[in-house]
Structure 1
Amino acid sequence: MSDAAPLSRPILAGVVTALVGFTSSFAVVLTGLDAVGANAAQAASGLLAVSLTMGLACVVLAWRYRMPITVAWSTPGAALLVATGTVEGGWSAAVGAFLITAALILLTALWPALGALIARIPPSIAQAMLAGVLLPLCLAPITGIVANPWGVVPVVLTWLLFARLAPRWAVPFAFVAAAVVVAVSLIGEGAPFDPALLLPRLEFTAPTFTVGALVGLALPLFIVTMASQNVPGIAIMRSFGYEVPWRPAMLVTGIGTALGATAGGHAINLAAISAALAASPDADPDPRRRWVAGVSTGASYLVLAVFSAAFAALVVLAPAAVIPAVAGLALFAAFGSAVQQAIDDPNERIPAVVTFLVAASGIAVLGVSAAFWALVAGLLVRTVLHTRRR
């Protein structure tokens, strides 16, 4: 058998990785960018920016290190944007926060002590913050059934059916169901459609920097990206026998985040959940050949980037509650995992619960979002309780 024939397997694995990763969470990205002040064109630009940068990062890292290293946009980070909402200074300040996040990722590569500091945040606290951020989004399918049953129920039923038959494809097929709902709605209303919406285009925004955006958005976005994506991503790759080079990975993802920031891209990072699709034996029995899946994943993301405007247009045209329902369904697994890790250790349970409740409350104090105060509250309660025990 020739060498070319078996390559079809890791190539296909990369295509599947990109399709599952993109269709499962692009709605979360668009919802997050909209929440922090992006208009429709700016949100579509942000989706295009992260698709391009993570595609290029996949190709560079997988090709250079001959490992199935995959890069993804920060889905928990996008959920954080939804929870944060508009920050002081509006959209331009959010873009400034994206740039600061990129700088922090780069600093992590250049100054290992910063990475060590993030690693010192107890996993229960970090995961509780993430769970609190995800909770409002995960409620969207439930509230959507009441708000728009004809639009949301088919999406939820499709998700449930494929969660039973093919769990990996449950959210992508829920998105297909949502697309059908949108198409039927447009046909029923006879609404005009502008083909120009399908053309991908980058919209650049001059950044501004505010204290509220720095503390309330950039720092939590950096922490969530590191604790919920990069660190687990390294661990997942290690479980398949790959030691991802930490500094080059942070340099590439930090530069990619910086390049995409002014176009609306919030953050890219090492893939976590989807990493297994390209790194497992299912991609190729020979671990030395699985790097091809990483390159294929990146190339597929670049192709999907061409259609990013069409995906964004679908969100704009969707009936009420349909797209938030898809976004919520996409986050069910992440929410369940975060809750489990947050309360797994009985000694850490009370600080984790406090962190979760503050994050889920959505409070904003002094212009700083709930995610930051959740970390402060959780660490404070933990310090008091542990000091008392000692």
Structure 2
Amino acid sequence: MLKNSRHSINIGMLKEDLSISAVVVGLIATMVSYAGPLVIVFQAAQVAHLSDAHLSSWIWAISIGSGITCILLSIWFKAPIITAWSTPGVVLLVSSWSIYSYTDAIGAFIFSAVIITFLGWTGLFEKIMNRIPYSITTAMLAGILLNFGVEVFTSLRNLPELVFPMILCFLIFKRLSPRYTVVITLFLGLLITYFTGNLKTESIDISLVNPIFTAPTFSFDALIGIGIPLCIVTMASQNAPGIGVLRADGYNVPISPLVTTTGIFSILLAPFGSHAINLAAITAAICTGKEAHEDKNKRYIAGISCGLFYLIFGIFGAAMASIFQALPSEFIAVIAGLALFASLSTSLASAMEGTQKESALITFLVTISGISFLGIGAAFWGLVAGILTNTIFQIKFNSFSKKTTEMSNSQKDDS
């Protein structure tokens, strides 16, 4: 039995809360995690001239780290805590890794993870996140998810014989059996993919991984050139949106243990190639919404499921790339987008509630703009823009209120 101050979960409860929808949603989240970001991992490996063995070890490390933390944190807090590897971090490596040795990069990974762990353990990151208004975090989430929803329909241009039946199936079963809508749509899509000849089974090559331990070296240039930027983009572009996803769906779990745990596993797995383990955003939204389960207290099963699939896929390392390359990109885009419909609609509605509509709108627009500055993605700058807007409006309101009070008091004195 695992316990924390709020929850106690045993095997009997796990069996009672188990649902097919949550398990399949966990599988979809894992597929989305590998489908796009893994391609960027391959690009970074080419830049660094890594061997196939080191590449497989890297994929194994980020998969095992994501899997273990998903399972531990989901059970600990009885919430769908989804973790992943830092995709913005991999993008950073694509642009900067070529001038540093592999061992220096490993040292920079550890340095970055130590800073992240410190920010989590001390509670500094949680204090910052607690000051951000709810409407702004939900607007940021809506901005992140919007493109996924749009891609469902843009995919129609390339593969209408697959995409249209999937959309139609989703709409019909959303009306008839909402809980299993994504599950049914997933299997229909796989069947259509197979029978239309779009499944490239000949490219699938399954093999096990032999993890490689690399002793780190610590170069000042690598610590500054990789370590510090990796820490910033991981916290700003991954952990911050990840917290926003959880809160948007009503999971007010403490932030510090989440960040600290992912930071510790990042340190442990860095010598095997892992650049950073962190909270997920897109894949988290798949598991935290109603598609996983109508009862939000039972959606933690999706987090455990996601973690288990991470572990299974990670054992085969680089072979996972061939599996996802066998599926058409339109299939991944559609099933991910449809699974995120509920989270997108909820986020849009929540963002426009209350008195902070302007701040939420600007957060949303900046986030969907896709701008990147100083290596940090649009989600972070959306938060910054929303907070700045909210601050300006608060200052104007307080100033106006003060002047109104002074005028009222002056009129009373005159009378």
Give me the TM-score of the superposition, normalised by structure 1: 0.70
* TM alignment of 1:235-384, pairs within 5 A: 236=251, 248=257, 250-259=259-268, 262-263=273-274, 266-268=277-279, 274=288, 298=304, 301-302=307-308, 305-307=311-313, 312-345=321-354, 347-384=355-392
Q: SS at 2:383's partner residue?
A: helix
| Structural mapping, 1:97-108, within 5 Å | 103=114, 106-108=117-119
Q: How many residues align?
A: 358
Who is 1:72 aligned against?
82
Unaligned runs of 5+ in 1: 1-5, 239-243, 284-292
Taking the TM superposition and a 5 Å limit, the aligned residue runs for 1:23-102 are 23-34=27-38, 36-38=40-42, 49=61, 52-53=64-65, 55-57=67-69, 60=72, 68=78, 71-73=81-83, 81=87, 86-87=91-92, 89-90=94-95
Where does residue 133 of structure 2 map in the other structure?
A: 122
Instruction: Tell me, yes or no, if the aligned pair for 2:203 and 2:322 is still in contact at 8 Å.
Output: no
22-31 or 256-265, larger mean C-alpha shift: 256-265
1:145 matched residue in structure 2: 156
Q: Distance in 2 between matches of 1:169 and 1:30?
A: 23
What do the CA deviations read for 1:155-197 (whole angstroms, capped 9, x no partner)?
A: 22232233233333322333323322332344x78x5614524
**Contact 1:97–1:217 at 8 Å: present in 2 too?**
no
Q: What's the CA shift for 1:43? A: 9.8
Counterpart code for 1:330: A
Q: Name the CA distance, whole Å, in 1 between partners of 2:358 and 2:107.
A: 35
Q: Is the 8 A contact 1:62 1:68 kept in 2?
A: yes
Structure 1 stretch 19-28 or stretch 205-214: which is displaced more?
205-214
Contact 2:166–2:188 (8 Å) recurs in 1 = yes
Aligned residue number for residue 288 of structure 1: none
TM-superposed CA distance for 1:106, in Å, is 2.6
User: For residues 21 and 353 of structure 1, do their structure 2 counterparts lie closer, same or farther at Cα, with a shift above 3 Å needed?
Assistant: same
Q: Structure 1 54/373 Cα, relative in aligned 2: closer, same or farther at 3 Å?
A: closer
Please state if 1:11 is matched with 2:15: yes
Q: RMSD of aligned C-alpha atoms? A: 4.7
Q: Report the Cα distance in structure 2 between the residues aligned to 1:141 and 1:150, rounded to whole angstroms.
A: 13
Q: How does 1:135-284 map to 2 (within 5 A)?
A: 135-186=146-197, 193-197=202-206, 199=208, 209=226, 213-229=230-246, 236=251, 248=257, 250-259=259-268, 262-263=273-274, 266-268=277-279, 274=288
Contact 2:259–2:278 (CA<8 Å) still a contact in 1?
no
Give the distance between the partners of 1:340 and 1:44, measured in 2 at CA: 42
- Residue equivalent to 1:3: none
Partner of 1:289: none
Cα deviations by residue, 1:99-157 (Å, 9 ceiling, x for unpaired): 78855653344212331111111222222222212211221111011221012122222
Q: Which amino acid aligns with 1:19?
A: V
Aligned sequence identity (%) = 25
Deviation track 1:307-344 (CA, whole Å, cap 9, x = no partner) reads 46587544211234221111211222222222222211
Q: 1:321 to 1:56 in 2, by over 3 A?
A: closer
Cα deviation code 1:194-222 (max 9, x no counterpart): 45246567699999717665545542212
The normalised TM-score by structure 2 is 0.66
Q: Secondary structure at the match of 1:364?
A: coil
Change (3 A) 1:136 1:259: farther
**Largest Rg, 1 or 2:** 2
1:211–1:253 CA distance, 2 compared to 1 (3 A) = closer
Question: 217-226 vs 16-25, which deviates more?
Answer: 16-25
- Could you tell me how far apart the structure 2 residues matched to 1:322 and 1:18 are? 20
Deviation larger for 256-265 or 175-184:
256-265
CA contact (8 A) 1:174 1:326 kept: yes
Q: What is the rounded CA distance, in whole Å, between the counterparts of 1:162 and 1:129 in structure 2?
A: 29
d(CA) in 1 for partners of 2:243 and 2:125? 11
Shift of the 227–85 alpha-carbon distance from structure 1 to 2, 3 Å rule, reads same
Q: Does the 8 A contact of 1:46 with 1:263 survive in 2?
A: yes
